[in-house]
């Protein structure tokens, strides 16, 4: 459970049609919805072939004896329609923890209602509360709508930095030469 975070609600909509947007901590009961949203995110990013995570692994890694990540969910009309999954990293230069946003996703039919912005605002609030020196994430270079959205919030690309990744056999080979 997120320390200090809870349930954030605000009305959305116009005129007679008002709904309540809820941003809250994910709970174990949300695992099926989270897993489904992860699969939708993978389809959107054209990476469905890379999804190996199971609901069981997700539950263990978010709510097990040693949680590795945390998640927020966005509810629209009582239905989970988006999520933000994040974890702490650390800046040796700043001497402070940071938050790394692994994934942020809102179902396409629920976009442009403020869900993504509300998830990011709650992450920023958590980062401030935890005295984090930065909030970071990666974005696919072809995802122009996301890039424009992040820039509009004041986020800046780290053009001088490249991401390196090692998976599976490469990790094993390095660990056991």
pLDDT in tens, 63-75: 999 999 999 999 9
pLDDT in tens, 24-63: 999 999 999 999 999 999 999 999 999 999 999 999 999 9
68 catalytic per annotation: no
The ranges of the chain with pLDDT < 70 are: 1-19
The neighbour count for residue 66, using CB atoms within 10 Å, is 6
Give me the domains of the chain, ranges plus CATH numbers: 7-175 (3.40.630.30)
- pLDDT of 8 reads 55
Closest among 113, 106, 123 to 38, alpha carbons compared:
106
* Stated pTM of the model: 0.86
- pLDDT of 151 reads 94
């Amino acid at each position: 459970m997120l320390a200090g975070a809870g349930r954030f609600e605000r009305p959305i909509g116009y005129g007679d049609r008002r709904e309540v947007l809820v941003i809250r901590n994910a709970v174990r009961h949300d695992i099926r919805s989270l897993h489904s949203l992860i699969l939708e995110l993978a389809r959107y990013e054209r990476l469905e072939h890379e999804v190996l995570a199971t609901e069981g692994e997700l539950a263990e890694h978010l709510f097990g004896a040693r949680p590795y990540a945390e998640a927020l969910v966005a509810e629209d009309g009582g239905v989970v329609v988006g999520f933000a999954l994040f974890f702490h990293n650390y800046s040796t230069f700043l001497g402070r923890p940071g938050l790394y946003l692994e994934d942020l996703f809102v179902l396409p039919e629920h976009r442009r209602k403020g869900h993504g912005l509300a998830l990011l605002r709650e992450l920023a609030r958590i980062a401030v509360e935890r005295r984090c020196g930065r909030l970071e994430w990666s974005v696919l270079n072809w995802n122009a709508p996301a890039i424009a959205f992040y820039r509009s919030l004041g986020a800046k690309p780290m053009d001088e930095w490249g991401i390196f990744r090692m998976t599976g056999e490469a990790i094993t080979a390095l660990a056991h030469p």
